[in-house]
Structures are given as C-alpha cells and as structure tokens.
Amino acid sequence: MLTAAPPRHLDILMCPPTHFAVEYAINPWMNTAVPVDVARAEQQWEELRATYQRLGHDVRVVEPVPGLPDMVFAANAGVVYDGRVLVSRFTHAERQGESAAYAAWFEAAGYREVRTATVRNEGEGDVLTVGRVMLAAAGTRTTREAHAELAAFFGVPVIGLELVDPRFYHLDTALMVLDEQTVAYYPGAFSAASRAAIEQLFPGAIHATEEDACGFGLNAMSDGVHVVMSDRAPRLAERLQERGYEPIGVDMSELVKAGGSAKCCTLELRA
C-alpha cells in the first residue's frame, strides 16, 4: 500500500513535437503509411506539460531541431543523475543527431559534467532510476556493455534486465517506477530471469496485462502519488487506484504512432 509520504517534486525536460512525423519505421509501432496529425500531437503534448505543471512540477523545454522528428521523445536524450549527464548514443542513424542537440542544451544549462555514452545507450528509455539504484535493460537498443558504463560514470548499482518482446523495445514501455518500493510491469516483456529479479527486488509488484501494456499504460511518470499515464490502459489505472495511487489519464494517441507516450516525452532531471 502507498504510504502517506507527499508527492516527490519532479524537474522535467520536454521537447515540443514541432517537427514530429513518422518518416521511417524503427520500432514495431511505426507505420509510415499512417498519417500523423501534427497539430493534434502538439495539443496532446501541451496537455501533458500542463498536467505536470498543475501537479507542481517544473518543466523545462528544449528547442526542437528540424530533421529530428523523434526528438519529442526526450526520455531518450540521456540519463541525468546527481547533476551529471550521460548523453545517449542512439542505435539508429535516424536519431543519432539528437545526441548533439541534447548535449548542447545540457552544457548551456550549466550541468557540471556532460559526456556522451561510448556504447549504445538510449537514456531513460532503457534506464530507470529507483532511489539510488538504476534498472537498465538490454535489448534491441541499449547494450549490456552500457550497464557497466552507467555504473562507472554515476557510481551507483545498475541492475540489468533483459527485454524479449520486440513490441517493448525500451524498458520504459514495459515497466514503470511508482516509488522507491514499487514498480508496475508487463511480465511477458521480460526473460524469466529478469521477471524473477523484478519480483525479488519489488515484492508486490503490480502486473499489467498485455492489453494495458500495448496501450502504453506503463509508459508513465509517477511522483509517488500521481501517475500521469496513457488513457488507454483502464485496467492498469484501476490496479493503481486499488494500491492507493492517483492515475491521471492523458491522450497521447498521436505520439503513440511513433511508439511513445507520456514517459517517452519526459526526461527527469535528477539533481
């Protein structure tokens, strides 16, 4: 059950979907034949930002760069922890230009150390921080070697997990951190060993159904009380309410066409 602890304050970085499009297909959700309504995507993004601000969180905005349609998915920019930044090294050529754009923002913002990963590492897409531990996935995007680099750079334990379902190509599509004691996840996205590790680390972890996972319900942001999540995961929202959390559904249907929802659009800047 949720404790009476107050919500955790979040410092967030987002990037408007000004140049958003599905011009290529680099994950199972992308289909270049399906049109994208950019105006609607911008409305959905603005509502997500407004939701964070209504909850009292701080939102910073990075300027989008033409030719980088997936830059809206700020979670993939890197990992920010203790005032240091490990900028992502993207797998696909179509996204590799995002690294320099985000690195420039972090440097201009005054972060004391900004380094680009030396091996494939797609930031908070595959690296989720729980207190002073990082959960890091190995799959089609981030390599196992990246886990060692994360541990060395940040000086924290990194627990490796394995994704086995190509639909859940990033960790943040298959698992969300609710607070330091609790996660919700879709077991079918993980290897048997990783499922066992999650259950050992987080007794009482909430299990999402395949339907809710495919509705991007796990691609969500939690401050320990409020859970900002896709409005297409009703059963998961019910489970969260049963456990004492307050789910807040947002429509991210246009962004989902590129394989991302609320969490993908949100990078936490951990001081």
> Can 170 be counted among the known catalytic residues?
yes
Q: What digits encode the pLDDT tens for the residues 81-111?
A: 999 999 999 999 999 999 999 999 999 999 9
CATH superfamily of 11-268: L-arginine/glycine Amidinotransferase; Chain A (3.75.10.10)
Collapse the DSSP code of 207 into the 3-class scheme (helix H, G, I; strand E, B; otherwise coil) and give the result.
Answer: strand
Rounded (5°) CA angle 202-206-207? 115
Domain ranges of the chain: 11-268
* 214 among known catalytic residues: no
pTM: 0.96
Cα–Cα distances (Å) from 208 to 126, 236, 259, in that order, read 18, 6, 18
State whether residue 253 is helix, strand or coil.
helix
Reduced to 3 states (helix: H, G, I; strand: E, B; else coil), residue 194 is helix
| Percent of the chain with pLDDT strictly greater than 90 | 97
Given 57, 147, 170, 226, the catalytic residue: 170
Annotated catalytic residue within 15, 147, 226, 264:
264
Q: What is the pLDDT of residues 153-210, one digit of tens each?
A: 999 999 999 999 999 999 999 999 999 999 999 999 999 999 999 999 999 999 999 9
